[in-house]
Structure 1
Amino acid sequence: MRITGHYYVHQLLGNAEFAAPEVIKGTPVSLATDIWSLGVLTYVMLSGVSPFLDESSEETCMNICRVDFSFPLEYFTSVSQAAQDFIRATLQMDARWRPTVATCLLHPWLQPHYSNYSKIPLDTTRLTAFIERRSHQNDVRPLPNAKCFIVNRNAMGT
């Protein structure tokens, strides 16, 4: 880990799918980087699928750096628009546009008096399958040259 001012730069460990674009690119990170991860975790917990995961680490990194995600109806039919709005707010490319922790806590979706929340319990079958798949992976290994995925792809004009 390298400290620069109030930001940190460190090697990407584990699976790229939870990493913010700045981690993938090897640029300084801040508290807003954790807000990105909160958004990914929220997406996974509500849907049971990962928003950026693709066939390879390279494609996953590219999806993250393009902020290429959606809310497929097959996974989000019972997820409120407020919850989806919360996820959108946290998954901003520019870390300066991500909400702070305090702002996240004030989001209508997290308010106990929010009247438009779904009374239908979430189907956790896909989340259970997601957790089971993840339990067979070794998440504490460096992802080599994640930054080069982006640099090389950008150099090719894609």
Structure 2
Amino acid sequence: MPPPEFRSNLGASLDRHPRVARPAESDAFLRGKDAHGRAAKVHTGPLAVSVVTPGRPPEQGVWEPQSVRAVAAAKALSWREEMPVECAYVEYSRHGVVRKLDVTTRRKAAYRRALRAAQSLDGPPPRLHDDAKCGACDYREECGVETRTLRSLL
């Protein structure tokens, strides 16, 4: 992105969301009931959290993975402060774009779906069978690399 366009985007974003430039806390570790991790910024009055991502922003709103991360950070901040957090910010740092999102019921439901999916994982997925993985390799006869899973070794 050319510097003039970046400065223009950043100036417009900071005009719409001035509190993003002056957070109460930076690089905060948040531990919630179900999720924990680092939030780029924590804002007070009212409570809000910022999640910074290097990706390209969509035309409007935020991408679903960033929305889920922002809701997780908002829920963790809410747990820490024992107060509801109604909004979060997603900052697309490489493009100088800041998007505000409300922590709605629909976004909370997407967060709960992602949480259930993560909790249902029982370790890493199983490896492919040796035949499918090594069949096309020219060095399969002399390689000697074990492709068994840790589970099979125990």
Q: Is TM > 0.5 for Structure 1 vs Structure 2?
A: no
Q: TM-score range by the shorter chain?
A: under 0.3
**Greater helix fraction, Structure 1 or Structure 2:** 1
The structure with higher relative contact order (CA 8 Å, sep 6+) is 1
Higher-Rg member (1/2) = 2
Q: What TM-score do the two structures reach when normalised by structure 2?
A: 0.25
